[in-house]
Amino acid sequence: MPWLDLLLGITLVATAALSLTARDLFRGVIMFIVFGLLMALAWVRLQAPDIALAEAAIGAGLTGVLLLDTLGYLRRPFGSRADPTDERS
- For residue 84, pLDDT over 80 is answered with no
Say what the pLDDT of residue 87 is.
61
pLDDT in tens, 61-77: 899 999 999 998 888 87
Q: What is the pLDDT of residues 28-48, one digit of tens each?
A: 999 999 999 999 999 999 999
Nearest-angstrom CA–CA distance, 15 and 34: 7
Whole-Å CA distances, 70 to 8, 11, 41: 29, 27, 26
Per-residue confidence (pLDDT) for residue 15, from 0 to 100 = 96
> What does the domain layout of the chain look like in residue ranges?
2-75
The chain-wide mean pLDDT, for the chain, equals 88
